[in-house]
Structure formats: structure tokens, C-alpha cells
Amino acid sequence: MESSIILKNIAKEFHNNDNKYKIHNKLNNYILNLSTDRKFLIDSLKNCISRRNFFLNDAQNLFFYLLIEGDVIVAINLFPPIKNKEINITHDNIHHHGWRLLSTALILGEGYETINFKRKSHEIVQNNVVKLKIEDSFKHVSGDVKFIDSEQAHVVFQPQSTSATLAVWSSDRTLRNQKLKKLFSNFPSVNKFISNSIHKLKLNNFFGLNKKDGVYFHPENGKIVVTKNYSKPIDGERKEITHCMFKFFQDIEFKDMDFFRSLKNSIPIESHDVCEKLIANEEIEDFGIIGDSRRRFTREQILKAIDDK
């Protein structure tokens, strides 16, 4: 079965059932099997990176969107190491996904350490201090599917070598805006305009749009606080993100050299060297990423801030 059909069927499962939790549970083993299905992964990636201007517009973030259909998203997320190989450093701020549910399985690598906090504990705020409570701390490894609930804050720490996950997202309930989002699915600028207008009118809860504020948190002066004016347009410079992507392609044995030769003209010239390495089957080093220093905190800072409360 072609990857596009598999992805459409996943979306259909969620759209045809109001109990989204039940579908995540139902698809648990299926997601695990897909995470090890190299044919599915490579075919999906081909479709993704063949999109017009992918390496100009999209290759500044550490993920590949394999499917976006209404509130359902299927993606591959990359977790490269920090460039200086420092350990116990956050991949991003502590955050939650609003009304989104997430099931995720490891595709590649040793996995990563993560802390999950008790659902909605981020809503307990006293004197501008967020009273997060830890639910679980573990390493996400292959052979298991991890589930993140809606409104459940969590934080991931960068691994020492590149890891990647297959992620399946949905809403936690049927949303009013899904028919509208499907109607304008081929017009992202219209979607964005409508979304911004609804937020300005403060009708986001009525239309089922996700939160923009109170989603990100970080340790500061020994306390956990809400991150103000959080911005995440990119995960790093295009050259370093593209390098991480091609390292991932090589590690999962995505070796269709004719495909990459045909793609080369669409890849920015500063990344031609890493593409040439892949085509020539030369080892691509796991350099990792510098990224955004505003998203970098230590495990010790986080745990100390929570203990101090």
C-alpha cells in the first residue's frame, strides 16, 4: 500500500470517530510497526521533500510533515545532539500542545530523555510562579509508543547522537473548525488570515483554535515561569538543519541516488556538499545543531526550580 493511502487512512480513523483517545489506543501497534517500516518512511519522505521549494521554505525546522489534514498531523521529528555534545540540555522550552494528543514512536537512534508533568499542573500559577508537578521521567526508546495528553506539559532533552520519531497528532475532541480547515487546505495564506482574525476577535475557544499564550515555560531565578513572547519560526540556520536532514536520510538508508540527483537543483547551494556526500555514499558526520540559545536549559535548572517550590 502506498504511503499516501496509509496516511489518509490514519486521518480517516480520527475524522470518523469522536473518541480520539480510543483511536490513539487502537493505532498504538500500527504506529509502532510504521516506525520500523523503511519502505513507508522513505516513500513518505520522498513525497514530502519533493514539494516545491521544500529546501528553501521548510528546511529550517527539525521535522517533516508527511500529512496535514484538518486536526490530524503525521510527521517525522528530528532530535540531533547539541553541537558541542553537551548533555542534559533541553531540545525546547517546557511546553504543552493545547488540545492536541500525540502518539510517538522512535524511528532511529538511542532515543532521548524526557520529563512529563501532570496534566494541567501548568495552570496552577502563584505570584507568577508556575507550580508544575512531575508525573514521569523516562527515556523514550525503540519498541514503545509514548502518548502525550492534551494540556500536558513536558520537556525533551537532546540526545548525544541523532534520533528521530514518527509522530501522530490529533485533537482531543471533535472541533468546530475542521470543515473550514479542510475547505481551505490548499490555501494556507487564507487559513492563516482566518485563524489570526478569530484570535483577534477572541473567538478561538468557540472555533476550536489552539492556544497561543501560556504554552511555553522555562526556569528563571530558581522558579518556573511562563515564557513571554515566545517565537519559533525556525530551529536553526538552513545549512545546519539541512545537514541534520541528510544525516538522517543516510542513517535510515534512504539511498535513492537518482532521486537526490534530480533534487539537487532545488537544494540551496550552501547545502550541495552534504547532498554530494549522500550521493557518493560518504559518511555524513553527526555535527548536531547550535539552534536557539533561548530554548536551552539544563535538567538541573528545571529540577531545582521545581524542588524550590
Rounded Cα distance between 199 and 27, Å, is: 33
**pLDDT at residue 265, as a whole number:** 87
Q: Where are the domains of the chain?
A: 3-236+289-308
User: 187-216: per-residue pLDDT in tens?
Assistant: 444 455 444 544 454 445 544 456 677 899
- Region 113-141: mean pLDDT is 97
Q: How many CB atoms lie within 10 A of CB 66?
A: 24
**pLDDT at residue 180, as a whole number:** 57
**pLDDT at residue 198, as a whole number:** 44
User: 159-188: per-residue pLDDT in tens?
Assistant: 999 999 999 999 999 986 655 555 545 444
pTM of the model: 0.90
User: 86-109: per-residue pLDDT in tens?
Assistant: 899 999 999 999 999 999 999 999
For domain 3-236+289-308, which architecture applies?
Sandwich (2.60)
- Region 281-308: mean pLDDT is 92
Q: Residue 30 half-sphere exposure, CB side, CA atoms within 13 Å? A: 11
The mean of the pLDDT values for the chain is: 90
- CB-based contact 102:168 (threshold 8 Å): yes
